[in-house]
Structure 1
Amino acid sequence: MTTPIVLPWPLQSLLEAVARAVLQPGDQPHIDFSRPTGETALVSPDSMSWRVFKNPLSLFIGGVAAVIMELAEPRVRTGIWEHTSFRMDPTRRLHSTGLAAMVTVYGPRATAEAMITRIRRIHDRVAGVTSSGETYHANDPDLLNWVQATAGYGFVQAYHTYVRQLSASERDRYYAEGVPAARLFGATGAPGSEAELEALLHATAGRLQRSTIVFEFLAIMRSAPILPLPLRPAQRLLVAAAVDLVPDWVQALLGLTGHGLRGWEAEAVRQAGALADRLVMETNPAVQACRRMRLPADYLYVHRNAVGARP
């Protein structure tokens, strides 16, 4: 069994700031994940999703990996780069995306459903033509399937690689849990297992293309003021960790081979990820959501042989 820990105040305070920066930044609308008491989320507290999404370090890494893969698809890439604020205000855009993920997993069901409806309406206005003359629409189910698949892959693979190894059945359970929410977003073919994820990746392989935009995105993520100043140098490591998560064949296609972590850096990231998985932080939506469901604050931080079974 792994037990949660509380660090000395200065370090705990710094890491609370990291969690707040990644999971619920001050420049976004405040979501009270602790209320209303008893209201369920789209996913249950005993899910794999609630455990995976509680870790701010793996969420950052997984989110960057997901965007790398999204940008490999020309229609998705054009929609992101021409209709979002990634270039002008990458920090705010990252925060918006992270908050949407938190609400989808931990938010009260009514709040999550209302947010998804708003996002769908925004996507209704996102359409255009790629440089090669292909039309795209943000609510196209095929594009939404790719976005949902890469996001699901990024988050679970980051947790599996840099926090705690998950069994094949745990990973399949994670993908299956995400299908109902994906359908609300309009992704009617989001993968419900690792095998379905692999099938979708390879079915899309012929559409993926190298682009300088991927390198521009990575440069932004290395330098944008996302983490608190004392931890800013670690962003380069986290971005490199994200590159390493991208399947080797996609890295080669995008020209990213050799842009990942070096030797000791991977172990350093794993140690940090494992530590983050034991820290119960009141700023974390996961902890607040547990309180909403009348569960102990450390409910998601005590690892057991069976997910959801109390010791």
Structure 2
Amino acid sequence: MDPSRSQTQYMGWKIDYANPPGEPGFIGPDSVHWRIYKNPIALGVGGVAAVLLEFADARIRSGVWDHSTYKADPVGRSRRTAIAAMVGAYGPQSAARRVIAGVNKMHARVVGQTPGGEPYRALDPELLDWVSATAVYGFLTAYDRFVAPVSAEDRRRYFVESGPVARLYGVQTVLTCEADFTAMMERLAPRFEPHPIVDEFLTIIKTGKGQAGALGFFYRAIARAAVSILPPMVRARLQLGPEYDLRGVDRALVRAAAAVAERFPAKNSPATRAPLRFGLPANFLYLSRERQAELLTARLRQCP
């Protein structure tokens, strides 16, 4: 499969990150999101960590496992989730609204009961808030830990930037800082529990189900890296033991892969197509921060 095509197609819709020229997104070229989301290793590690945080709650765990294709098609399911995140960050607002509306429509059909008999629905505001919070936490923490440190000021900007897209998904409690995430997690903590589905999910990640089998060692490193960035309380509640401890070789492997991804643009990816919409070069996000600032200043001077 063409990896660039997999990021520009969603449920039969074509997403053009480079057009219409000048159409704003919900998040712009000078954002922390654009910097973080360009790195697929950070997104992979952060995405797995986010799912683990979500699966700690039986309502979300049951909703995902019973109403999605994750068990049968983990790669396709993960890819669709990634595209929804990418279009919210890099896409023009019109495309982002269309994709998010489609996601919300699908979520409206997700209702059921946990094995313990507790009803759930995907559009429950408490669940929407937590799912959004886990993604915000996961991507930021993975980038900070395995790619490059994120300053306190940029961390604050990142939380603020996430608000407009989160609200489109129906999120009511939008995070403004890390303390907000901690407070939400502590409110939900009494619900957190271990479950065989968590182990099954991690087995899918570790074995690279649906991916190149020869890279099993890399997928195991990704799984351990994701567990390593979980808040200690959540890891303890999920009973993820020493077999998930991040080893030196795992850390080196993940950081090396992230460093390569940070330096070399993926052709026709959202991160290289979106700058074109603003009259910026495709490699904009891979230039020095100083050069990026110069290009953005020059662009502002050209605007009427």
**TM-score > 0.5 by shorter chain:** yes
Q: Match of 2:50?
A: 66
Identify the structure with the greater helix proportion: 2
- Whole-Å Cα distance in 2 between the matches of residues 28 and 94 of structure 1? 16
Cα drift, residue 138 of structure 1: 0.5
Matched, 1:298 2:244: no
8 Å Cα contact 1:28/1:95 also seen in 2: no
8 Å Cα contact 1:58/1:155 also seen in 2: yes
Q: What RMSD over aligned residues (CA atoms) do the two structures have, in Å?
A: 2.3
Cα drift, residue 225 of structure 1: 4.5
- Whole-Å Cα distance in 2 between the matches of residues 25 and 31 of structure 1? 6
- Whole-Å Cα distance in 2 between the matches of residues 144 and 20 of structure 1? 29
Matched, 1:276 2:298: no
- Whole-Å Cα distance in 2 between the matches of residues 247 and 40 of structure 1? 35
User: 1:214 is aligned with what amino acid?
Assistant: V
Q: Deviations over 1:87-143 (max 9, x none)?
A: 111111011101111111111110100111111111111111111221111011110
Q: Secondary structure at the match of 1:97?
A: helix
8 Å Cα contact 2:86/2:270 also seen in 1: yes
- Whole-Å Cα distance in 1 between the matches of residues 182 and 12 of structure 2? 34
Q: Match of 1:247?
A: 231
User: 2:134 is aligned with what amino acid?
Assistant: T
8 Å Cα contact 1:47/1:308 also seen in 2: no
- Whole-Å Cα distance in 2 between the matches of residues 174 and 152 of structure 1? 8
Cα drift, residue 222 of structure 1: 2.1
The alignment of Structure 1 onto Structure 2 pairs a total of residues equal to 294
Q: Secondary structure at the match of 1:128?
A: strand
Query: Residue 62 of structure 2 is aligned with which of 71, 78, 91?
Result: 78
Q: Deviations over 1:185-221 (max 9, x none)?
A: 0011031211111111112111111111100001112
User: 2:281 is aligned with what amino acid?
Assistant: P
Cα drift, residue 271 of structure 1: 2.4
- Whole-Å Cα distance in 2 between the matches of residues 60 and 227 of structure 1? 14
Q: Deviations over 1:150-202 (max 9, x none)?
A: 01111111111110010122112111111111111001103121111111111
Between 68-77 and 258-267, report the one with greater CA deviation: 258-267
Q: Deviations over 1:13-70 (max 9, x none)?
A: xxx97x6498558997542211111111111111100111010111111111100110
Query: Residue 40 of structure 1 is aligned with which of 20, 24, 39?
Result: 24
Q: Secondary structure at the match of 1:136?
A: strand
Q: Deviations over 1:204-263 (max 9, x none)?
A: 111111111100001112224455566454112112111111111111110113213212
- TM-score w.r.t. the length of structure 1 is 0.88
Q: Match of 2:300?
A: none
- Whole-Å Cα distance in 2 between the matches of residues 59 and 178 of structure 1? 15
Matched, 1:178 2:165: no
Cα drift, residue 283 of structure 1: 2.6
Structure 2: unaligned runs, 5 residues or longer: 296-304
- Whole-Å Cα distance in 1 between the matches of residues 173 and 95 of structure 2? 24
Q: Which runs of 4+ in 1 moved over 3 A?
A: 19-30, 224-233
Alpha carbons of structure 1 residues 296 and 223: separation in structure 2 relative to 1, 3 Å: same
User: 1:274 is aligned with what amino acid?
Assistant: A
Query: Residue 200 of structure 1 is aligned with which of 181, 184, 196?
Result: 184
Q: Match of 1:92?
A: 76
Q: Match of 1:113?
A: 97
Larger relative contact order (CA 8 Å, sep ≥ 6) = 1
8 Å Cα contact 2:73/2:210 also seen in 1: no
8 Å Cα contact 1:22/1:227 also seen in 2: no
8 Å Cα contact 2:10/2:83 also seen in 1: no
8 Å Cα contact 1:27/1:92 also seen in 2: no
- Whole-Å Cα distance in 1 between the matches of residues 145 and 118 of structure 2? 36
Percent of residue pairs bearing the same amino acid type: 39
8 Å Cα contact 1:53/1:102 also seen in 2: yes
Structure 1: unaligned runs, 5 residues or longer: 1-15
8 Å Cα contact 2:10/2:99 also seen in 1: no
